[in-house]
A and B are shown apart, each in its own frame.
Chain A
Amino acid sequence: MPAREELKFEEALQKLEGIVRALEGEGLTLEESLDRYQEGIKLVRLCRQRLQEVEGKLQALLIQEGDVVEKEINLAGGENYGA
Chain B
Amino acid sequence: MSGQRVLAVRELTAYLQRLLAGDGHLANVWVRGEVSNLRRPASGHLYFTLKDQVAALRCVMFQGRGRALNLRLQDGLEVIARGQVAIYPRDGVYQLYVAEVFPAGMGLASLALRELAARLEREGLFAPDRKRPLPLLPRRVGLVTSPSGAALRDMVTVSRRRFPGIDLVLAPASVQGENAPQELARALDLLGKLGRVDVVIIGRGGGSAEDLSAFNTEIVARAIYACPVPVIAAVGHETDLTLADRVADRRAPTPSAAAELAVPVRAELEERLALLAARARRGVEHRLQMARTMLERLVKSRGLARPQQELYYRQQYLDGLEQRLLASWQRQSGAREQALQLLVARLEAASPLAILNRGYAVCRRPGGGPPIKVSQEVVPGERVEVILSQGRLQCQVEDVKAGPACQGVTTPAGEPCK
Contact = CB atoms under 8 A, between A and B. Distances in A.
A33 B156 contact: no
A77 B324 CA distance: 55
Interface stretch (B78-86, B115-123, B232-240, B283-291): B283-291
B153 A75 contact: yes
Contacts, number: 131
Interface residues of A, number: 42
Interface residues of B, number: 50
A61 B139 contact: no
A10 B190 CA distance: 25
Interface in B123-153: 135-137, 139-140, 147, 152-153
A38 to B, nearest CB: 5
Given A9-B136, A59-B168, A61-B191, A20 B288 contact: no
B322 to A, nearest CB: 9
B165 A44 contact: no
A44 B332 CA distance: 9
A interface SS class: helix
B273 A33 contact: no
B354 A58 contact: no
A30 B291 contact: yes
B279 A56 contact: no
Interface in A17-47: 17, 19-20, 22-24, 28, 30-31, 33-34, 36-38, 40-41, 44-45, 47
B137 A10 contact: yes
B138 to A, nearest CB: 9
Contact of B165 (A9, A55, A59): A55
B137 A50 contact: yes
Top-3 shortest CB links A-B: A23-B283, A9-B137, A10-B136
